[in-house]
Chain A
Amino acid sequence: MGFYDSGFPILSVITYLPLAGALLMLFINKENTGAIKTFATIVAAVDFVLSVPLWFYFDRKAAGLAMFQFRETASWIPSLGVKYSFGIDGIALLLILLTTMMGLIAVYSSYTAIDHRQKEYYILLLLLQTGMIGVFCALDFFLFYVFWEVMLVPMYFLIGIWGGQRRLYAAIKFFLYTLAGSVVMLLSILALYFFNSSGIPFLNIKGLGNAPSFDVLQFHQIGHLISPQLQFWIFLGFFLGFAIKVPMFPFHTWLPDAHVEAPTAGSVILAAVLLKMGTYGFVRFALPILPDGTRQLMIPIVTLSIIGIIYGALVSLVQKDMKKLVAYSSVSHLGFVMLGMFALNPMGLRGSVLQMINHGISTGALFLLVGIVYEQRHTRLISEYGGLAKQMPMYATLFLIAALSSMGLPALNGFIGEFTILLGVANANIWWAVFAAVGIVLGAAYLLWLYQRVFWGPLDNPANKVLKDVNKRELLTLLPLVACMIWIGIAPAPFFEMIEQPVDYIVQKVDPGYFKRQPVTYPSEAAERAAAVSSALAAIQAEVHR
């Protein structure tokens, strides 16, 4: 396995393998659906297997810019200063693992759900995966933007072709909403770019900013030099792009439509990975590059997050459609992620990052579970069900675990994430934590009530008496998710260890005085860390000078 530490472009391989698989699938006869499914599954599985060793070869202790590992840099459009630049830190690594796992699950869970135009379906699913992984790997704004936009097209088709009744409306809404956000983000990127390459006085710092560049890490170094006023506007552009993707209240209206209309695998990918791109965008770009902008917009964003938490939960409470309920619960959960992030302290950010993963796992599982009964009954109305626990005991158990994980029961992953977020938020402002706690209570309410209505009570609808419990294939898609829920719930330490350096790095960027102000428990370690950060900074400066 020397691949992973020898400069072999492993990230590119993981990124483009699904694309290559999709291209090869063009040559499979579209009647031969068995071969198509098998091939797509193999590609997704190989991709997952290739991504797992990243976990082991990743150096968790590397601090500063060295924490971006598995770097690949090549020239792409030299005349614009665009580089093909890949590299991941602990946050991106976790999200990539989540993506490859969910990608495999999405392919495997679609065997019976998709019954027409199967070849196109699996091709698009694999294309989507390339786009998603690329977004998490890219360390060049231009490249990032390309992947970010590329993803839209396959998702648009997935919703539009294999979706429910109102699929056309949902697909176009999804596409236009996201596109509107991302083009505004493009303007922000351009503003950064020109800020970087034009002759604005302070940029005459030798070697910095004179060559046109889209290098994200370089922006990390010089971003704070941008005037606060300009930072505000640039941040606002990023905010629009990312907040629509997250989605934050009030930009969330595309989400319920897209989720309800999308096929099960589409919803799973959408919830587990696509929504994370928004939050990932904040932690990777907006926060570290624009510290002043972040602080200026902190209160509005926190307010929107809290509104999102409570609004999402209240709306979930009154949903009649299971899928819509889970969709709105995402608005609430992502509100938590945003709130934790904008506590702007290590605890809140850690919880926020972990909760991104948790939400992907729990909500992904819930969508899969809803998909299983939908496939048999072709309805998702809660009132159509009742007493399923007797008919489908295995299914009921799995659903219970997923629901408990989603509502944050101790010993499952959701608890760890939400608890850490609450700690961080309380540290920033106790009242925010109070509001967030209300959200948790409401979350327990809508999920338990859903569970009660669907699984308990009499099994009086005759149509439900013929429901089959989860089969082996469905079980195989769900078990890894349940395992992850329990793993993170019981032993989250490896995950925290993975994101510790990146989180500290971001906090250091956003709030340079933070670590000086805080009473640090382990002074030597903190000093070491600070030294490492500053030496890394010096190293990058020296490199740029050259």
Chain B
Amino acid sequence: MTWADTLLLLPELIAATGASILLIVPVLGGRARGHMAKWAMLALMAVTALAVIGSTYAVAGVQQTPTFRAMFAVDAFSVFFKLLFVVVIALVTLLSEDFLSEERYSTWEYYSLLAFALCGMMFMASGVSLITIYIGLELLALSSYILAGYYKNHEESTEAAMKYFILGTVSSAILLYGISLIYGVCGSMRLSTIAAALSTMLSNDALMFGIMLLAAGLCFKIAAVPFHVWTPDVYVGAPTPISAFLSTGSKAAAFAVFARVFYVAFPAFHLDWSNVLAAIAALSMIVGNLAAITQTNVKRMLAYSSISHAGYSLLGIIAMNEMGLRGILIYTMVYVFANLGIWATILMLRRHAYAGESVEDFRGLHKRAPFAAFSMVVFLLSLGGIPPTAGFIGKYFLFAAAVQAGFGWLAIVAVVMSAVSMFYYLRLVVAMYLEEGSGAETIYSPSLRFVTALSLTVTLVVGFIPELPIRQVIESSSHLVGRVVQR
């Protein structure tokens, strides 16, 4: 370990230090200045983002810089996700402003937990050893459990946190067991060493079992069927900004891990695990979308929709080709922004107890908040994959990857299900534009407006001029795909 190694760790160090500082500020007498917390948090995000960008200069010209005995790597792939995480956390910070000021919960601890979660996510993106990944994942998970129960006085929130905690811990245990089996067979936690060991093996039941357990643990994190049951309850019970975080940032981190682990470590056994994952993906798309149709609660609907999106994204892992990996990156980005935009609109309505939860609350929104309603339509079309929004580009990559890999049947399930998904997305459009009558009150704070505007910009820019993001994604993922080709 040298100083240069430590420098590579700078973004994580900053996030962890910042989180710790945020945690002790109230002890030092900052509790009264709760409104300052948001700005402190945003400043922390800005510095972290700069550090992430800075770290890319440190490794300029080198595709991947493993450090700390090859447990941690800074590469274009991790930088892509880290920047995405920082933006997500910053936007979640903005989304949380009103919730915190209204509910009078401690703001500093809240943001501190978010910063710890960010730290965990960044470790996940950079982890090239299963143990680093596991620790990052646990840091994220523990922060999320607490955040999900932040509505201390609400029974639902507490219940959601309990459920999330118990199921999450079990899934972590499964994941850990899988890791231990893989370690037992391969003798290493390092992804590249595992890959090398696998390439000389023909078949190994213990290893397959390990891979399956690892996949099961990760599927819990991304909320894929049949590991999805926690999702609707947690999304509904948790404070809305935290639901937004869980459905975007937390999932994106899990996908970063999923992609890196499977693309780097397990390509040799692709034939063995791809069919299992294909079944999981198909189930997620079918169950998620069909269940979403029957929901009347918007948060529950979004929960099921996010389950289905986990299914789409899995196509990228199953395909195991260039197109697929790019698809995961671009789809994650597209999905994150469309979803954050939708949550911002829900938060706008989320006044006076539980408004913004039923579809009726959206009635006639186009009159009361034309900009929000229009943006909402764009986000919903993006989730449905209708061009010229970003969602089409994302889905295009994933479907194309599946077709290219020969998973034609899965691609058919995916396209049919994405048509089905429009059915429930359109319900919100119907409520906003086609039904008259008064829905919930709206208070559109500047922060929410900013989140909506940024998400809208990304969604439209990626839709209309996809070349730039696509090139970025190719750059960020090519060094992982290289391994696939080598095998």
- A262 → chain B, closest Cβ, in Å? 14
Q: A146-B387, A152-B386, A153-B386 are in contact. Are A194 and B418 (CB under 8 A)?
A: no
B467/A176 in contact, CB under 8 A: no
User: Is B331 an interface position by the 8 A CB rule?
Assistant: no
Set of chain B residues within 8 Å of A152, measured between Cβ atoms: 386
Assess whether B412 is interfacial by the CB under 8 Å rule.
yes
The answer, among B387, B423, B426, B471, for a CB contact under 8 Å with A149, is B387
How far, in Å, is A531 (CB) from chain B's closest CB? 39
Measured in the bound complex, the distance between the Cα atoms of B411 and A144 in whole Å is: 20
Among A76, A80, A187, A194, which residue has its beta carbon within 8 angstroms of that of B412? A187
- A153, B425: Cα distance in complex, Å: 13
- Bound: A241/B123 CA distance, A: 45
Assess whether A79 is in contact with B471, with CB atoms less than 8 Å apart: yes
In this complex, the interface size class of chain A, counting residues with CB under 8 Å from chain B, is: 20 to 34
Q: Let me know if A77 and B399 touch, CB within 8 A.
A: no
Q: Beyond A187-B403, A187-B415, is A176–B433 a contact (Cβ under 8 Å)?
A: no
Chain B residues lying within 8 Å of A184, measured Cβ to Cβ, are: 412, 415-416
B371-429 interface (Cβ within 8 A of A)? 381, 385-388, 392, 396, 399-400, 403-404, 408, 411-412, 415-416, 418-420, 422-423, 426
Q: How many residues of B contact A (CB 8 A)?
A: 30
Residue of B nearest to A180 (CB): B419
In the complex, which residues of chain B have a beta carbon less than 8 angstroms from the beta carbon of A198?
Answer: 404
Cβ of B434 under 8 Å from chain A: yes
Closest chain-B Cβ to A365's Cβ sits at a distance in Å of: 29
* Residue on B nearest A186 in the bound complex, by CB: B415
Contacts of A146 in B (CB 8 A): 387-388, 392
With A152-B386, A161-B434, A194-B404: A183-B392 Cβ-Cβ less than 8 Å: no
Q: Considering only CB atoms, which chain B residue lies closest to A177 in the complex? A: B419
Query: Which A residues touch B404, using CB under 8 A?
Result: 190, 194, 198
A188 and chain B: residue at smallest CB distance: B403
Bound CA span A152–B386, Å? 9
Q: Is B26 an interface residue (CB 8 A)?
A: no
Alpha-carbon gap, A127 to B431, bound state (A)? 22
- Tell me the nearest residue of chain B to A146, going by C-beta: B387
Please tell me if the beta carbons of B430 and A168 are within 8 angstroms of each other in the complex.
Answer: yes
The answer to whether B411 touches A78, judged by C-beta atoms less than 8 angstroms apart, is no
Residues of A contacting B408 in the complex (Cβ-Cβ under 8 angstroms) = 187
User: Which B199-248 residues have a C-beta within 8 angstroms of A?
Assistant: none
A176→B430 contact, CB < 8 A? no
Is B66's CB within 8 Å of the partner chain A? no
The verdict on B49 contacting chain A, using a C-beta distance below 8 Å, is no
Set of chain B residues within 8 Å of A193, measured between Cβ atoms: 400
* Chain B CB within 8 A of A459 CB: no
CB-CB nearest in chain A for B377? A153
B422 contacts which chain A residues (CB < 8 A)? 175-176, 179
CB distance from A149 to the nearest CB of B (A): 5
Contact A190 B399 (CB under 8 A): yes
- Say yes or no: is A145 at the interface (Cβ < 8 Å to chain B): yes
Distance (whole angstroms) from the CB of B377 to the closest CB of chain A:
8
Taking CB atoms, residues of chain B closer than 8 Å to A77 are 466-467, 470
Q: Considering the complex, give the chain A residue whose CB is closest to the CB of B467.
A: A77
The yes or no answer to A444 lying at the interface (CB within 8 A) is no
Measured in the bound complex, the distance between the Cα atoms of B386 and A145 in whole Å is 10
User: In the complex the two chains form, what is the Cα distance from A171 to B430 in whole Å?
Assistant: 10
Instruction: Indicate the member of A78, A171, A190 with the most B CB atoms within 10 Å.
Output: A190
Does B400 contact A175, Cβ atoms closer than 8 Å? no
B474 in the interface (beta carbon within 8 A): yes
Q: Using Cβ atoms and an 8 Å threshold, which residues of chain B touch A190? A: 399-400, 403-404, 411
**Chain B: CB-nearest residue to A76:** B467
**Contact residues, A70-87 vs B (CB, 8 A):** 76-80
Give every chain A residue within 8 A of B399 (Cβ-Cβ): 186-187, 190
Note all chain A residues with C-beta closer than 8 A to B474.
79
The number of inter-chain residue pairs (CB within 8 angstroms) is: 78
The contact string, 1 if C-beta is below 8 Å from chain B, for chain A 139-168, is: 000000110011011001100110000011
User: Contact: B387 with A194, CB < 8 Å?
Assistant: no
Which residue of A is nearest B381, CB measured? A153
A537 is an interface residue with CB less than 8 A from chain B: no
Interface string of A321-361 (1 = CB under 8 A from B): 00000000000000000000000000000000000000000
**Residue from B387, B388, B411, B423 in contact with A172 in the complex, judged by beta carbons closer than 8 Å:** B423
> A150–B474 Cα gap in the complex (Å)?
27
Given contact pairs A79-B471, A187-B412, A160 touches B430 in the complex (Cβ within 8 A): yes
The interface residues of chain A lying within 8 Å CB-to-CB of B419 are 176, 179-180, 183
Determine the residue in chain A with the shortest Cβ distance to B326.
A79
A149 engages B467 (CB within 8 Å):
no
Shortest A174–chain B CB gap in Å is: 11
Assuming the A-B contacts A183-B416, A183-B418, A194-B400, are A79 and B470 also in contact, with contact meaning beta carbons closer than 8 angstroms in the complex? yes
In the bound complex, residues from chain B placing their C-beta under 8 Å from that of A194 are 400, 403-404
Is B415 within 8 A of A176, CB to CB? no
A150/B388 in contact, CB under 8 A: yes
A residues within 8 A CB of B388? 146, 150
Q: Which residues on the A side are within 8 Å of B381 (C-beta)?
A: 153
Residues from chain A with a CB closer than 8 A to the CB of B423 are 172, 176
Q: How far is the CA of A146 from the CA of B391 in the complex (A)?
A: 12
Q: How many angstroms from the CA of A502 to the CA of B466 in the assembled complex?
A: 33
Within 241-263 of B, Cβ neighbours of A (below 8 Å) are at none
Minimum C-beta distance from B335 to chain A (A):
18
Q: How far is the CB of B68 from chain A (nearest CB, A)?
A: 34
Interface string of B188-205 (1 = CB under 8 A from A): 000000000000000000
Once the chains are docked, how many angstroms separate the CA of A167 from the CA of B435?
A: 11
List, in ascending order, chain A residues with CB within 8 A of B396's CB: 186
Report if A191 contacts B (CB, 8 A): yes
Q: Among the listed B415, B430, B471, which residue makes an inter-chain contact with A183, where contact means beta carbons less than 8 Å apart?
A: B415
In the assembled complex, the Cα of A76 lies from the Cα of B470 at a distance in Å of 12
Contact of B411 among A153, A168, A187 (CB under 8 A): A187
Bound Cα distance A168, B419 (Å): 17
Q: Which residues of A contact B471 (CB under 8 A)?
A: 79
- A172 CA / B434 CA spacing, docked (Å): 12
Q: Nearest B residue to A197 by beta-carbon distance?
A: B404
For A150, the chain B residues whose CB sits under 8 A away are 386-388
CB distance from A72 to the nearest CB of B (A): 17
Question: Which residue of A is nearest B471, CB measured?
Answer: A79
Task: Mark A100-138 against chain B: 1 for CB-CB distance below 8 A, else 0.
Answer: 000000000000000000000000000000000000000
CA distance A157 to B435 in the complex (A): 12
- Shortest C-beta distance, B407 to chain A (Å), equals 11
B-chain residues with CB within 8 Å of residue A153 when the two chains form the complex: 381, 386
CB-CB nearest in chain A for B427:
A172
Question: Are B416 and A180 closer than 8 Å at their CB atoms?
Answer: yes
Q: How far is the CB of A543 from chain B (nearest CB, A)?
A: 24
What is the CA–CA distance of A150 and B389 in the complex, to the nearest angstrom?
10
The CA of A153 and the CA of B399, in the complex, are separated in Å by 22
CA distance A172 to B392 in the complex (A): 20
* A330 shortest CB reach to chain B, Å: 24
Contact B426 A175 (CB under 8 A): yes
A153 to B382 CA separation, bound complex (whole angstroms): 12
Complex Cα–Cα for A156 and B433 (A): 11
- Kindly identify, within residues 48 to 68 of chain B, every residue whose CB is under 8 Å from any CB belonging to chain A: none
Contacts of B400 in A (CB 8 A): 190, 193-194
> 29 interchain pairs (CB within 8 A)?
A76-B467, A77-B467, A80-B470, A145-B387, A149-B386, A149-B392, A150-B386, A160-B433, A160-B434, A161-B434, A168-B434, A171-B434, A172-B423, A172-B430, A175-B422, A175-B426, A176-B419, A176-B420, A176-B423, A179-B386, A184-B415, A186-B396, A186-B399, A187-B403, A187-B408, A187-B415, A190-B403, A193-B400, A194-B404
Q: A residues near B, CB below 8 A?
A: 76-80, 145-146, 149-150, 152-153, 156-157, 160-161, 167-168, 171-172, 175-176, 179-180, 183-184, 186-187, 190-191, 193-194, 198
- Known pairs A160-B433, A160-B434; list 8 more (Cβ under 8 Å): A149-B386, A168-B434, A176-B420, A176-B423, A186-B399, A187-B399, A187-B408, A190-B403
For the complex of A and B, list the 6 residue pairs with the smallest distance between their C-beta atoms, beginning with the closest: A183-B415, A146-B387, A180-B419, A190-B403, A179-B419, A160-B434
